[in-house]
């Protein structure tokens, strides 16, 4: 065991704007033996999420920032290769906060066992993982969409947005997605069943929204913030609900966040804007996971992962999220 | 009847920034006879409200803008001096949208009869009128405050804010008011029963908020927007509710509205921000009016009006709202 070498990415500087390779150190350390209640996990796939950018900042938020010198926090999936806890056995496939490293020694209670025969492993980091749960609770619990309502989703081809639009359809809503580029827009319509797609890079978003939502926007699931949030605010329907899931357009700001200048539309339309973090709903994860799995099993919920190979590529691969270069849930492959 | 002369303020220009006298025309017109279903009201007191500034802009909102050349829209109270409708008699005191004029011919169904012996007439434009109802629904229906929670109110000494804080106290909450100047802050504590008062002109609002709300802000009733909204957003408690009632700091902007840069705090604190207009709750006005009247009758709800005499002073008196010069509900006295 002690001869295993663990390559890991440590955060060594607080990034300003987009992350740079020099904000991290690619270190190699020996793997320690798991203590009582701990297991050793060999990482296979790591989840790269926009929220990770926020965790690199030294600000009070819903979780403490990653400390300088610490392994970068991330969700991962892998195999138990040594266990010191009766709940997990060698060979089990598990999901949890492994961090960006090849091996993780973790308390068994922070890991969830998953069935590697049900779905490809990367899916447990996407539609069957935190992004899927984020879509589920951010849409269903925060916005309570009703049949026939119009649901607009930004970042609609992303890990969270792709699931959000499909759940909206499952619940009998009209789904309108906003994404960057023709390929993603085509994917929204042809593969995911969105009723309309808006290409924010090419379309006049204001006009396209009006055309796609003639009765206004009942529900808006916001992953991006910035100008798109402001445009949607002008086209709400009465009693609209906005779920604030994220604001990827703002995460690399070196200036203050762009607040929604049109927030007084909330008053005009008697609308509300509510924020959430998926962990707010942790108690309900098991039932939600079950429902997502049923939808995936039935083919009602499709998913796509964008897999990049090699832990050594982490800083550059992570940047893809902010350049809109990933198409599907961005996953870093560490080992087979 | 036709010999009566009606002095009235007409909107003749869309104001840029603060209103000017030249944005209006002070006209005199003969009074016309009320038609079938109509009554003639002699205005006694007119309500001057921040929302009126928004009605002067040529933008889509919750009500259409006041047309150029039209009498400026406003709520008023007065006496019926001629009636062509069985529901109202000469001598009745009525409340409704009279506009800024000495006489108004109105459809009887748009007027509410009030009891002039229960309270001084100007109170029907304040705590017993739209501002009181606005506080009532904006606090109780939008925010659902629970006993023991901390409720922060901006514009706390104003027509709406003064009622909001007192209702919060009636419901067993801690009330923290933000107002401009020592006199208003003293009034909040000594007269209205607020637990703490913050003078935004003199205090460090961030520090004062932290001291007044050690467990965070459960409910924020926002009348002002701008920097104060942004500061409160950083100090929310989990599951906080923000009622967006208005944004007086922004109404005279010639630049775009300052959006709340800290809106992602909604995500961090699992909080929501909801807008409303009092007319959203029109169906419940009668019961709310009754409850407000009971509280006033019992001395639990105090009110103060700032009365300025003379319809001819309208443009300058209206400006007082935005300079923080009024102390209590601003009322324009037109006749005894």
d(CA A127, CA B311) in angstroms, rounded, equals 65
d(CA B251, CA A9) in angstroms, rounded, equals 50
- Whether B257 and chain A come into contact, CB under 8 Å, resolves to yes
The answer, yes or no, to whether residue A2 has pLDDT greater than 60, is no
CB within 8 Å: A264 and B62: no
CB within 8 Å: B280 and A270: yes
CB within 8 Å: A273 and B272: yes
Tens-place pLDDT, residues A284-314: 999 999 999 999 999 999 999 999 999 999 9
- Whether A259 and chain B come into contact, CB under 8 Å, resolves to yes
Q: Residue A29: exposed, middle, or buried by beta-carbon count in 10 A (0-12, 13-18, 19+)?
A: middle
Measured between CA atoms, the residue of chain B closest to residue A224 is B264
- Report CA-CA distances (Å) from A336 to A313, B20, B239: 16, 73, 42
| Residues constituting chain B | 336
CB within 8 Å: B268 and A259: no
What average pLDDT score do residues B93-106 get? 97
Identify the band that residue B2 occupies on the pLDDT scale cut at 50, 70 and 90.
low
CB within 8 Å: A280 and B270: yes
**How much is the pLDDT for A73?**
97
- Whether B230 and chain A come into contact, CB under 8 Å, resolves to yes
The answer, yes or no, to whether residue B148 has pLDDT greater than 90, is yes
What residues in B contact A269, CB-CB < 8 Å? 275
Task: Check residue B101 and report its DSSP letter.
Answer: B
| Residues constituting chain A | 336
The answer, yes or no, to whether residue A253 has pLDDT greater than 90, is no
**How much is the pLDDT for A196?**
98
What average pLDDT score do residues B34-43 get? 97
Six token digits for residue A204: 């006049």
The answer, yes or no, to whether residue A319 has pLDDT greater than 80, is yes
Sequence-distant (6+) residues with CB within 8 A of A13 are A22, A23, A24, A68
CB within 8 Å: A261 and B261: no
The answer, yes or no, to whether residue A1 has pLDDT greater than 70, is no
Tens-place pLDDT, residues B247-268: 999 988 888 899 999 999 999 9
ipTM score here?
A: 0.92
Sequence-distant (6+) residues with CB within 8 A of A161 are A135, A153, A154, A155, A177, A179, A221, A223
Q: Is A84 left (phi over 0), alpha (psi -120 to 50) or beta?
A: alpha
Pairing state between β B76-83 and B93-96: antiparallel
Q: Of A213, A215, A216, A219, nearest to A143 (Cα)?
A: A219
Between residues B61 and B283, the one the model is more confident about: B283
Tens-place pLDDT, residues B189-243: 999 999 999 999 999 999 999 999 999 999 999 999 999 999 999 999 999 999 9
Measured between CA atoms, the residue of chain A closest to residue B247 is A264
The answer, yes or no, to whether residue A61 has pLDDT greater than 90, is no
CB within 8 Å: A262 and B259: yes
Identify the band that residue B66 occupies on the pLDDT scale cut at 50, 70 and 90.
very high
Measured between CA atoms, the residue of chain B closest to residue A268 is B62
- Whether B291 and chain A come into contact, CB under 8 Å, resolves to no
Q: How far is B68 from chain A (nearest CA, A)?
A: 22
- Whether B233 and chain A come into contact, CB under 8 Å, resolves to no
d(CA B52, CA B15) in angstroms, rounded, equals 12
Between residues B249 and B60, the one the model is more confident about: B249
- Whether A225 and chain B come into contact, CB under 8 Å, resolves to yes
Pairing state between β A217-222 and A236-244: parallel
Tens-place pLDDT, residues B282-301: 999 999 999 999 999 999 99
Q: How far is A40 from chain B (nearest CA, A)?
A: 32
What sign does the CA torsion over A169, A175, A179, A184 have?
positive
The answer, yes or no, to whether residue A104 has pLDDT greater than 80, is yes
**How much is the pLDDT for A329?**
95
What average pLDDT score do residues B178-183 get? 96
What percent of chain B shows pLDDT beyond 90?
Answer: 94
Give the one of A230, A258, A264 whose C-beta lies nearest to B247's C-beta. Answer: A264
- Whether A216 and chain B come into contact, CB under 8 Å, resolves to no
Q: What is the mean pLDDT of chain B?
A: 96
Contact between B131 and B74 under an 8 Å Cβ cutoff? The reply is no
Q: Is A64 helix (H, G, I), strand (E, B) or coil?
A: coil
**How much is the pLDDT for B191?**
96
Strand arrangement of the beta sheet that strand A150-154 belongs to:
A196-199, A174-179, A150-154, A217-222, A236-244, A272-275, B272-275, B236-244, B217-222, B150-154, B174-179, B196-199
Q: What is the mean pLDDT of chain A?
A: 96
**How much is the pLDDT for A3?**
79
The answer, yes or no, to whether residue B81 has pLDDT greater than 60, is yes
CB within 8 Å: A273 and B260: no
């Amino acid at each position: 065991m002690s001869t295993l070498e663990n390559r890991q990415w440590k955060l060594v500087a607080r990034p300003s704007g987009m992350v740079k390779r020099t904000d991290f150190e690619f270190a190699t350390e020996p793997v320690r033996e798991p203590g009582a209640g701990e297991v050793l996990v060999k990482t296979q796939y790591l989840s790269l999420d926009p929220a990770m950018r926020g965790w690199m900042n030294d600000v009070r938020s819903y979780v403490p920032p990653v400390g300088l010198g610490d392994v970068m926090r991330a969700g991962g999936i892998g195999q138990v290769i040594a266990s010191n806890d009766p709940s997990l056995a060698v060979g089990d496939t598990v999901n949890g906060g492994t961090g960006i490293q090849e091996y993780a020694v973790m308390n068994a209670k922070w890991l969830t066992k998953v069935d590697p025969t049900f779905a490809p492993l990367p899916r447990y980091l996407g539609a069957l993982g935190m992004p899927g749960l984020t879509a589920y609770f951010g849409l269903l619990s925060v916005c309570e969409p009703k049949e026939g309502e119009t649901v607009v989703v930004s970042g609609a081809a992303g890990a969270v947005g792709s699931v959000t639009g499909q759940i909206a359809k499952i619940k009998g809503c009209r789904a309108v997605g906003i994404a960057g580029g023709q390929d993603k827009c085509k994917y929204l319509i042809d593969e995911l069943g969105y009723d309309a797609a808006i290409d924010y890079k090419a379309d006049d978003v204001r006009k396209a929204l009006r055309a796609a939502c003639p009765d206004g926007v009942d529900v808006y699931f916001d992953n991006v913030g910035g100008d798109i949030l402001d445009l949607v605010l002008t086209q709400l329907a009465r009693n609209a609900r906005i779920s604030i899931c994220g604001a990827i357009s703002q995460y690399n700001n070196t200036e203050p966040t762009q607040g929604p200048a049109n927030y007084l539309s909330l008053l005009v339309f008697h609308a509300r804007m509510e924020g959430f973090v998926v962990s707010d709903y942790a108690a309900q994860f098991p039932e939600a996971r079950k429902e997502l799995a049923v939808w995936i099993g039935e083919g009602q919920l499709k998913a796509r992962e964008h897999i990049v190979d090699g832990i050594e590529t982490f800083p550059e691969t992570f940047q893809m999220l902010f350049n809109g270069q990933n198409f599907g849930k961005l996953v870093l492959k560490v080992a087979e």
